[in-house]
Chains A and B, each alone.
Chain A
Amino acid sequence: MKLISKPEKISKDHYLLKIQYQGSDPIPGQFVSIKVNEGTDPLLRRPFSIFDYSENELKIVFKVAGKATSILQNSALPENTDISGPYGKGFTPLENSKVLLIGGGVGNAPLHYLSNKLRKTGCNVTYIYGSRSAEYIYCRDDFHKCSDSTYYMTDDGTDGEKGFVSEKLSQLIKKEFFDFAYICGPSPMMKLCADILKAQNINGEVSLENYFGCGIGICSGCTVKTVNGNRRACIDGPVFNINEILL
């Protein structure tokens, strides 16, 4: 796999990357693993969820967070970028169901691809998009297009409503029935949402974004706890059922 274009800025600190990809359709929730340069610093590959896929082209969205993503952001020589994958176990695909998608920050990325797929299989998608503030929200139109109803929640009220995604979740499930929920975002947000869903007996899945050493199951650096014991987030996940994972 290789980069097709230079990173495109899509909101404050967020960039879109296009990657040439030949292979079977990736499953929403799967990730690619990127070594951003040759040499040993930064050393490890970095995991990024698949934001979109069509005709031999994968897209990812990354947020500038540190060493590797800063290099990616300025990558003038895309040929030096080494990309492998897709890896991991993705979200469970549903058909003809009413589903709720909840994303926080850059964690909205995998839900975008998921939402497109779910719409194609006859699902009715309600989307809650959470962000710190309006300037960080990316691809707003795309998210709007790939869901039946969309709610934006910002910490400062600069877009949509002021408040947390979990507050919107609590409101919605009081009024409407949902078959299933999919969540991706910061850990505290996922825990809060999963607890609310479990209390209402709504089933769902989360996609974890913890620290990966290898991304292929050989180092046990990404271990998470589940009701069935330890699991490696990179190959047993990153998607886990909310009733299985101990957040």
Chain B
Amino acid sequence: MKKEIKIGKLKLKNPVSLASGTCAYGEELNGIYDLSSLGCIFTKGLSLNPRAGNEGNRIVETDSGILNSIGLENVGLESFIKNKIPYLTENSITYVPNAAGHSIEDNIEICERLSEIDSVRAVELNVSCPNVKAGGMAFGQNVKVLEKFLKQLRPRMSASLIVKLSPNVTDITEFAKCAEACGADAVSAVNTLQGMRIDIKTGKPYFNNTFAGLSGPAIKPVALRLVYQIYQSVKIPVIGLGGIKDTGDAIEFMMAGASAVQIGTMNLVYPETGRIISEGIDSYMKENKIEDINDIIGLTHRLKGEL
């Protein structure tokens, strides 16, 4: 059975990975199961300096989903390199850092520094975080801004570049095409959908930032549709995520065109979801006599004529 996936310089032993912000830096989950059995993990969004994150409420459950306003609390680039990478490499965990700097300059510095590290084969650029005032989604909601940003960034980093797209735009394919044209090796889709909640006792927004990011099973149909559309519009690989909870969901994303998938919110509920889905894909391939994972990727598009 062939399940390896190549995304630029990044080699994944299977298509299952964990989403940024839902597996921290791997330490806790690796105590529960062996994370080196996964394709890779995307570590928490990094800023140049440590970030304390947002004040006030940070998470609340919604129907089949959650709203979060963590605000990119993270240890900062230096501490990541010094204290987090050694653990990941010692445990043979394939990882992709997620860059989430305040400014274009910060992000360039983060990607440049990370590229110098042997075990960093790719960096996921987060231009889609809805929970911070500077940086984040501001880069990923205007094609011209994104283009200017990526044109400056791309020549400065030697690692492969994965651009994580925001679903909070009118036409996500424009952003995917822009990333491809600017030299991105892949795109990942999607980050959280912007949402909100109001406290009816006070009439005030539940989150200090008013809006927050919706994730979990509630967003899956939307995320799947976006991955399907992106696959049709670019040639670079798409990494699919948004509400994946079981093997069936993961296969659906792959059929829509995802070369690999990320598990996010469900790690919070069932920490072993990544392992279960990775084993589930094995069983699915065996049962359906699929020799090569590439036969599943984008299958729905190839069957279009047969409708």
**Stretch in contact with the other chain, from A40-48, A102-110, A160-168, A200-208:** A40-48
**Is B24 on the interface with A (CB-CB < 8 A)?**
yes
Q: How far is the CA of A70 from the CA of B238 in the complex (A)?
A: 41
Known contacts A43-B64, A223-B53, A235-B28; A218 and B58 CB within 8 A of each other:
no
B18-34 with Cβ < 8 A to chain A: 21-24, 28-29, 32
Contacts of A213 in B (CB 8 A): 58-59, 66, 68, 268
Query: Which residues does chain A contribute within 8 Å of B65, judged by CB atoms?
Result: 43
- For the complex, give the distance between the alpha carbons of A214 and B28 in Å: 11
Tell me if A40 and B217 are in contact (CB < 8 A). yes
**In the complex the two chains form, what is the Cα distance from A42 to B269 in whole Å?**
10
How many interface residues does chain B have, given as a range? 20 to 34
Q: When the two chains form the complex, which single residue of B29, B216, B270 contacts A218, counting CB atoms closer than 8 Å? A: B29
When distances are taken between beta carbons in the complex, the residues of chain A under 8 Å from B121 are: none
Asked if B269 and A35 sit within 8 Å, CB to CB, the answer is: yes
- Asked if residues A40 and B70 are in contact (CB atoms below 8 Å), the reply is no
Pick from B53, B267, B269: contact of A220, CB below 8 A: B53
Contact A40 B268 (CB under 8 A): no
Q: How far is the CA of A28 from the CA of B245 in the complex (A)?
A: 33
Interface flag for B105 (CB, 8 Å)? no
Which of B22, B53, B216 is in CB contact (< 8 Å) with A40? B216
B216 A211 Cβ-Cβ under 8 A: no
Residue of A41, A211, A219, A235 near B268 (CB, 8 A) is A219
Q: Which residues of A are found within 8 Å of B118, using beta-carbon distances? A: none
- Which residues of A in the span 206-232 have a Cβ within 8 Å of any Cβ on B? 211-214, 216-223, 229-230
Question: Please, which residues of chain B bring their CB within 8 A of the CB of A235?
Answer: 28
Q: Are A43 and B24 CB-contacts (below 8 A) given A213-B59, A221-B59, A230-B52?
A: no
Interchain CB contact under 8 A, A43 and B61: yes
The answer to whether the Cβ of B57 comes within 8 Å of any Cβ in the partner chain is yes
A219 to B66, CA, bound (A): 12
Contact A216 B216 (CB under 8 A): no
* Identity of the chain B residue whose Cβ is nearest the Cβ of A218 in the assembled complex: B24
Q: For the complex, what is the distance from the CA of A221 to the CA of B269, rounded to whole Å? A: 13
Given A43-B66, A230-B73, check contact A223 B269 (CB 8 Å).
no
Chain B 217-250 interface 0/1 with A at a Cβ cutoff of 8 Å (1 = within): 1100000000000000000000000000100000
Q: Could you show 30 A-B contacts with beta carbons less than 8 Å apart? A: A40-B64, A40-B218, A40-B245, A43-B61, A43-B64, A43-B66, A43-B216, A43-B217, A44-B66, A44-B268, A44-B269, A211-B57, A213-B268, A216-B28, A216-B29, A216-B32, A217-B24, A218-B23, A218-B29, A218-B267, A219-B21, A219-B24, A219-B59, A219-B68, A219-B268, A220-B44, A221-B58, A221-B59, A222-B59, A230-B73
